[in-house]
Amino acid sequence: MEEKSIGGSNYFLTIVDDFTRYTQVYFLCSKDEVFDRIREFITQAERETGLRLKAIRTDNGTEFVNQRVEKLLKSKGIKHQRSAVMVPQQNGVVERAQRSIVERARCMLADAGLPKCYWAEAVSTAVYLNNRSPTKSVKDMTPIEAWTGEKPDLSHLRIFGCEVMVKIPSKKRQKWDAKSKKMIFIGYCATTKCYRVIDPVSKAIEISRDVEFFEKKNTSNPEGCQTEKLHRPKPPIAKEKATSVDIRTLATAPARRPEQTEAETSPASSSADSEDGSASSITEKEEELPLETFYDFDEDSSDSEMENNVEPETPARKSSRKHRPKQFPDFVTYFASQPHDDVPMSAKQALSSPQAPEWSEAMAAELSSLEENDTYEWVDLPKGKRPLSMKWVFRLKPSEQNSIKFKARLVVRGCHQKEGIDYKDTFSPVIRNASLRYLFALAVKENLNIHHFDVTTAYLHGNLEEDIYVKPPEEAINSPGNKGKFWRLKKAVYGLKQSGRCWYQRLHEALVGLKLKQSKAEPCLYHRRTGSETVVIGVFVDDALILTKNEKTKNDIFDALRAQFAMKDLGEVKQFL
């Protein structure tokens, strides 16, 4: 034993369910408490699962092998299995769990810069995370999901030991007092949806729901671990290196199913008392990246760099809920700009509607676009191949001239694709809202013109690597010889899971070919500087913004891209939703 925890604990008892690998930990001031903790766990486990405990497995420590424990187990009909002397491998599940918990807790203390006396808080948090982490022993589930039958919510997880600002209740402060105070996050509460935090000065542990996290800041090492309740002399400041922990197997453990459960007690090195618990779901604030990480305006002048958002010195949390009022007006603006006429759900509805001529023209334009881009070829379906079906998708799209455009899109039912056969990778980036705001800020700062261009049927330009066969719609059969035949796709088509990725890779090749460099922080941002001329392009799927000072430069880039893709120059930006 190196040091007591803040709550006065010297040991912790680890209990592992052999079937689910669900782990429970109890902190002990002495080994005499093991009997009470075992009895407590048996009652709790049987109540939570509705099952009876069959057996426990421990080592031969006197805290497990005594008359009180044997009498308790016999009264409940529970077998007591003991490992052989000096053969801890027979209790391997709990031995390995014990090692993982201690190593994780040691790393958490070292990373947070906290002294040894916080070992119990670190152990409790390590167990909390282990129960919510995948394990090979339980397929497709975490231990806590296997134990409770409910999938855990992980949105509340935070970095152990980070700085937090905790709201001071109005009843505990006067009018001109600060509304929050700086504390350290040390774990999750077992009985309420709150966080456990500690005052680095008074060492008082509090449980609070109104917490603002600053996870990028390292915690300074508190100068003492004792509390006024313990009246212990102040220990020296702990060094920032990881501390070693002596582990002696004391072990015991129940099981909840026809399987066995294993447990272990061990003395640990220092830290505060804590237990496994749940916490409230408090979403983190959306962080904005510094503007200079996207593009260096002028490497020789620091004045040309945009400043990052500055955090307030004393942030005060008004509510534990996350409010996003800015998004709602944007949604209303977008929704108000959309036409509200009924849109047909099938080709039959479109061709029988009052707007049949317009929809028919849109469908013909889509089929013509597929043919012009050499998207497919007519073939007989190879033996053993499974064709995908297609459907028409119709949409009314407003234009900048306040008119309505009828659009028809022929898409593949990608929901029927099989991974590894019909597709592999599917990820395709899109520009973030923060990056779009950066572009507009850059245009103002550098006095750049912003033009908007759109790629017509963008996905049809993406090259397809897999062999995919589809059943074409009746409207596409233009000759009797094509009846009964299928399309073998040569290009990506809307609806395929990999279409977005294929298009992005194709556009990336084209932009890099124009000597534009891709931003390391934003994959949808490209830039080029030649002399005094600056070019920046932001891509959002098939729409793009191009920022230039010179009209000729913009036209040269546009002409080069138009030579490879069917594009429309939409002129200077008036709206970009």
Greater pLDDT, 278 or 1: 1
pLDDT tens figures, 322-340: 555 555 555 555 555 554 5
Q: Do 233 and 366 lie in a common domain?
A: no
Q: Do 140 and 234 lie in a common domain?
A: yes
Q: Do 254 and 371 lie in a common domain?
A: no
pLDDT band at residue 399 using 50, 70 and 90 as cut-offs: low
Q: Do 359 and 239 lie in a common domain?
A: no
Give the angle 471-477-478 at the CA atoms, nearest 5°.
155
Q: Do 365 and 511 lie in a common domain?
A: yes
Q: Do 436 and 538 lie in a common domain?
A: yes
User: How far is residue 461's CA from residue 491's CA, in Å, rounded to a whole number?
Assistant: 6
Least confident range from 1-5, 157-161, 197-201, 323-327: namely: 323-327
Which of 267, 285, 300 marks a domain boundary?
267
User: How far is residue 445's CA from residue 448's CA, in Å, rounded to a whole number?
Assistant: 8
Q: Do 254 and 361 lie in a common domain?
A: no
Q: Mean pLDDT, to the nearest integer, of 474-497?
A: 85
The confidence score (pLDDT) of residue 301 equals 40
Q: Is the pLDDT of residue 93 over 70?
A: yes
Tell me the residue ranges of DSSP E strands in 401-560.
Answer: 404-412, 449-455, 469-470, 486-489, 517-518, 525-530, 533-540, 543-548
Question: Is 494 domain-assigned?
Answer: yes
Greater pLDDT, 274 or 161: 161
> What token pair was written down for 137?
């022993």
Dihedral sign for Cα 71, 73, 79, 80, please.
negative
Which of 228, 252, 267 marks a domain boundary?
267
Q: Is the pLDDT of residue 496 over 60?
A: yes
How many structural domains are present in the chain?
2
Q: Do 557 and 453 lie in a common domain?
A: yes
Question: Is 339 domain-assigned?
Answer: no
pLDDT tens figures, 53-70: 999 999 888 889 999 999
Q: Mean pLDDT, to the nearest integer, of 539-556?
A: 88
Question: Is 275 domain-assigned?
Answer: no
Q: Is the pLDDT of residue 375 over 90?
A: no
pLDDT band at residue 344 using 50, 70 and 90 as cut-offs: confident
Q: Do 261 and 367 lie in a common domain?
A: no
User: How far is residue 499's CA from residue 457's CA, in Å, rounded to a whole number?
Assistant: 11
Nearest to 15 by CA among 275, 190, 267, 255: 255
Q: Mean pLDDT, to the nearest integer, of 3-9?
A: 86
pLDDT band at residue 79 using 50, 70 and 90 as cut-offs: very high
Q: Mean pLDDT, to the nearest integer, of 541-567?
A: 87
Residue 406: strand pairing partners: 396
Nearest to 525 by CA among 514, 513, 511: 511
pLDDT band at residue 177 using 50, 70 and 90 as cut-offs: confident
Q: Do 450 and 563 lie in a common domain?
A: yes
Question: Is 308 domain-assigned?
Answer: no
Q: Is the pLDDT of residue 341 over 60?
A: no
pLDDT band at residue 103 using 50, 70 and 90 as cut-offs: very high
Nearest to 440 by CA among 431, 450, 432: 450
Domain that holds residue 253: 11-267
Q: Is the pLDDT of residue 123 over 90?
A: yes
- In the chain, the percentage of residues whose pLDDT exceeds 90 is 16
CB atoms closer than 10 angstroms to residue 194:
22
User: How far is residue 32's CA from residue 11's CA, in Å, rounded to a whole number?
Assistant: 11
Element at 97 (helix H, strand E): helix 92-112
Nearest to 193 by CA among 177, 214, 175, 208: 208
| b (16+ CB within 10 A) / e for 262-301 | bbbbbbbbbbbbbbbbbbbebeeeeeeeebbebbebeeee
Greater pLDDT, 352 or 273: 352
In CATH, what number is assigned to the domain containing residue 22?
A: 3.30.420.10
pLDDT tens figures, 288-303: 444 344 444 444 443 3
Q: Is the pLDDT of residue 577 over 90?
A: no
Question: Is 300 domain-assigned?
Answer: no
**196 touches 118 (CB < 8 A):** no
Q: Is the pLDDT of residue 427 over 70?
A: yes
**470 touches 412 (CB < 8 A):** yes
Q: What is the mean pLDDT of the chain?
A: 78
Q: Is the pLDDT of residue 29 over 70?
A: yes
Which of 249, 267, 285 marks a domain boundary?
267
Q: Mean pLDDT, to the nearest integer, of 168-174?
A: 85
Question: Is 314 domain-assigned?
Answer: no
Cα–Cα distances (Å) from 438 to 327, 432, 441, 446, in that order, read 18, 10, 5, 12
Compute φ and ψ for 433, nearest 5 degrees: -60, -40
Q: Do 129 and 41 lie in a common domain?
A: yes
Q: Do 261 and 383 lie in a common domain?
A: no
Question: Is 166 domain-assigned?
Answer: yes
User: How far is residue 545's CA from residue 537's CA, in Å, rounded to a whole number?
Assistant: 6
Position of tokens 């402060």? Answer: 173
CB atoms closer than 10 angstroms to residue 558:
15
Question: Is 336 domain-assigned?
Answer: no
For 291, which DSSP code? G
The confidence score (pLDDT) of residue 333 equals 57
